[in-house]
Amino acid sequence: MLTTKIVVVTQRDEWEGHYRLYEALLSGAMVMSDQMLILSRLGLLENGTSVIEFDSETSLISLAQYYLDHNSERQAIAARGRQIAMSRHRSSCNIWNMLFFLISEYIQIF
């Protein structure tokens, strides 16, 4: 993994933020993921800054090629993703984030 430049992660909507995503971010490689709903709403990861989201096979291929050709951009995104994972991938952080999300969803219902 130390020489990996890009890691592609795909997850079902209910499993966004799965440990595999954080393992990929912690590897130091730039992470590309299918579109994420929960993590972006929580402000944890931002498309184009800490992770790259794709919405089709075609966009995955073109984005991967772009970032393979643009090392400094890829490395900056990888570093930001790793920084977020290092600061947020703890059990206590995950519990507070989920509680915040559930409370905000509950308030919207009423």
Is residue 54 within a helix (H) or strand (E), and if so which, with residue range?
strand 52-54
Q: Which residues contact 63 (CB under 8 A, 6 or more apart)?
A: 32, 52, 54
Under DSSP, is residue 55 helix (H, G, I), strand (E, B) or coil?
A: coil
Q: Is residue 48 part of a domain?
A: yes
Whether residue 11 contacts residue 38, with contact meaning beta carbons closer than 8 Å, is answered with no
Residue 13 forms part of a structural domain: yes
Measured from the Cβ of residue 18, the count of other Cβ atoms closer than 10 Å reads 13
Domain range spanning residue 29?
6-109
Q: Report the pLDDT value the prediction gives residue 15, as an integer from 0 to 100.
A: 63
pLDDT at 80: 96
Cα 53 to Cα 32: distance, rounded to the nearest angstrom: 6
The count of domains in the chain is 1
CATH number at residue 23: 3.40.50.2000
Q: What percent of the chain has pLDDT over 70?
A: 81
Asked whether residue 79 carries a pLDDT value surpassing 90, the answer given is yes
